[in-house]
Amino acid sequence: MVNYPNMKKKWQSSYLPNNENKHYTAHRGMSLEEDISLSNEYYLTHDIAVIYKKPTPVQIVKVDYPKREAAKIVEAYYKTPSTTDYNGLYRGKYVDFEAKETKIKNFPFANISKHQIDHLQKIIDHGGIAFVIIAFTSINEVYLIDASYIINDYYHSQRKSMTYEKIKSLGRLIPQGFQPRLHYLKVVDDLYFKEDE
């Protein structure tokens, strides 16, 4: 592959080195999804919680069965998820959430589907814990916000997004560290289990 000097320069200027700490994933090359997966593995192996990401829904159209080999899917399409990406069990409670990254300093509602909004409302109605994790990648801050605020603004706000300031005031900053990478259950403790302690 030809190494185009211009493209390299462009890539460098936008990601390195002046603002290397501004990007959430810049120094680690990891996504929010990977960080949450690492945290969930930590919670699972330390017997803290049982929370998984659901597999990506795929419509399988055609499968080949080669001799002596594993079945090979040769035609399939991504399906729109009807629920959120994550759910599980923590301290005897059902927990359900969606996680989104945004490069800009607000959270556009176009990032979340009506299906997911309505699913989160159902979780609240049936006595579960429902929230959204939002990573602002340009400033390396990740917030947990109760789903009710997102649902309310999704349906009633004049804006098509929720501002960073509003998320900061209604949500909680998730502590970042080594293990767990994103300690979002610390925030869940504070928001949903405070009266128990």
Binding flag, residue 66, a copy of itself (CB under 8 A): no
Pick the binder of a copy of itself from 35, 40, 96, 185 (CB under 8 A). 96
Q: Which one, of 103, 174, 90, lies nearest residue 132 by Cα?
A: 174
Site string for a copy of itself, 5-44 (x = CB under 8 A): ---------------------------------------x
Which of 22, 126 has the CB closer to a copy of itself? 126
d(CA 133, CA 171): 9
Q: Tokens 């949450």 identify what position? A: 36
Q: In b/e form, how buried is each residue of 130-149, taking b as 16+ CB within 10 angstroms?
A: bbbbbbbbeeebbbbbbbeb
DSSP state of 111: G
Part of the chain binding a copy of itself (CB under 8 A), chosen from 24-32, 69-77, 169-177, 183-191:
69-77
Part of the chain binding a copy of itself (CB under 8 A), chosen from 6-14, 68-76, 103-111, 149-157:
68-76
d(CA 39, CA 51): 10
Pick the binder of a copy of itself from 32, 36, 49, 151 (CB under 8 A). 49
d(CA 31, CA 73): 27
Binding flag, residue 83, a copy of itself (CB under 8 A): yes
The secondary element (H helix, E strand) that includes residue 107 is strand 106-108
CA 97 to chain centre: 8
Binding flag, residue 60, a copy of itself (CB under 8 A): yes
Pick the binder of a copy of itself from 32, 36, 42, 119 (CB under 8 A). 119
| Binding region for a copy of itself (CB under 8 A) | 44, 47, 49-50, 52, 54-58, 60, 70-79, 82-83, 87-94, 96, 119, 122-123, 125-128
